[in-house]
Amino acid sequence: MVHAPAPYHHGDLPQAILAAAATAVGRDGVAALSLRSLAQEVGVSHTAPRHHFGDKRGVVTALAAQGYDDLALALRRAGSGGTFLDVGVAYVGWALDHGAHYQVMFRPELVDTADPAHEAALGGLRHALVESLDGTVPTPDGGNGIPVLGLAAWSIVHGFVTLALADSLPLPPGDRRAATLALARSTLARLDTTPGTTEPATPEG
């Protein structure tokens, strides 16, 4: 006898599915993700994820959009009264804490780039980057409204995060998150042109 899944008790099924997807991606990688396994994880029928997201690409697209939105918020917080260096370190810190999201962000081959919510979220991240860097780096812009130095810093930080998530950075033994943030800070300090700024002390882990 086939038993139906237990009644769903979460308050927000799409968010519960995305949370399960983030856990699965962090544990097994994007390739292993499936709608059926997500349904089992959340405790709903195997058709429920498809009803909300359509297919696996839809789930990954929504997960990436969620990441853009959350990272944009982190950058705005860091840029409010902070420096260019604070923004860069906040970016790295967020990526370290949300590795599953970061795995699917900036990956057009994995997502539906024409999805309106995804487009809006990515545009919001770019806007947040400009806002957070406003007044901390010189103009002109790099063609997308992002200051040239800011675009250079974004490129460096993205590469830095990619290496960090692959455990490919030369770090001392101990707290890897704290060591990664310290290395990020010292690296970005070489690009920091904020008047009167000197290389800060090692950030808190």
pLDDT digits (tens, 9 = 90+) for 149-194: 667 778 889 999 999 999 999 999 999 999 999 999 999 888 765 5
What is the number of domains present in the chain?
2
- Give me the torsion for CA of 62, 63, 65, 67, rounded to 10°: 170
pLDDT tens-digit series, residues 91-143 = 999 999 999 999 999 999 999 999 999 999 999 999 888 888 765 555 555 55
pLDDT tens-digit series, residues 45-67 = 999 999 999 999 999 999 999 99
Residue 89 falls inside a structural domain? yes
pLDDT at residue 151, as a whole number: 79
Do residues 103 and 196 share a domain?
A: yes
Residue 195 falls inside a structural domain? yes
Residue 5 falls inside a structural domain? no
Alpha helix positions (H), the chain? 13-28, 35-42, 48-53, 56-79, 84-97, 99-104, 116-133, 148-165, 176-189
CATH number at residue 28: 1.10.10
Model confidence, pTM: 0.83
Bridge partners, 141 (sequence order): 147
Its domain, for residue 17, covers 10-54
Do residues 21 and 80 share a domain?
A: no
